[in-house]
Structure 1
């Protein structure tokens, strides 16, 4: 019974890490390209590639329900770029909406 609980805890943890990776990837894709270089961060393509690789590795390491996990260590390594993006890059680029301010001061 303890083994079954451990498998489900591991499954929930793997899915939670994968969700964080996908969240970071989608957020980076929605940000305007100039925001990254204006904020002094690496390019948008760099972050998209890094986050996409992390999401793929995270997806491949989600265990099959009822089965054993494959790569615990890789699962935790794959979430590192997402954590760096969400903690450092996202706050820096969040101020850049990519929209132009309205022309004139009209109502």
Structure 2
């Protein structure tokens, strides 16, 4: 009986993590400019909004693990591939922190001077 309660608690935590991940990805996709998707050569903004919106809906309504995992994969693809590309074409990344294109991982590169 204790194990059943433990398993239910773990399942609830996993479902919550899936939901938070998908909602976060949906909000970030919603906030990005439409032309940034085209400039980054990614799928359209409406495509990602539909995919991530369905993911959120599945995580809220249907408790089928394989659908939740498919939605998690879509969210991870957005975070790992699409979002960095959008940030790069939108002027995000090093430009926001005040770095230049000659900055290396340990500071500015000055050509050995």
Give unpaired runs (5+ residues) of structure 1. 62-69, 98-107
Large movers: runs of 4+ above 3 Å = none
2 CA distance for matches of 1:8 and 1:84? Answer: 27
What's the Cα RMSD here? 1.1
Q: What CA distance in whole angstroms lies between the structure 1 residues aligned with 2:50 and 2:66?
A: 21
Any gaps of 5 or more consecutive residues in structure 2?
A: 92-113
Q: Which has the higher helix share?
A: 2
1:1-107 equivalences in 2 (<5 Å): 1-61=2-62, 70-95=63-88, 96=90
Q: TM-score, normalised by structure 2?
A: 0.74
- Return the TM-score normalized by structure 1: 0.78
Contact 1:22 1:55 in 2 (8 A): yes
- Measured in 2, the distance between the counterparts of 1:73 and 1:36 equals 28
Aligned residues: 89
Between the two structures, name the one with larger relative contact order (CA 8 Å, sep ≥ 6). 1
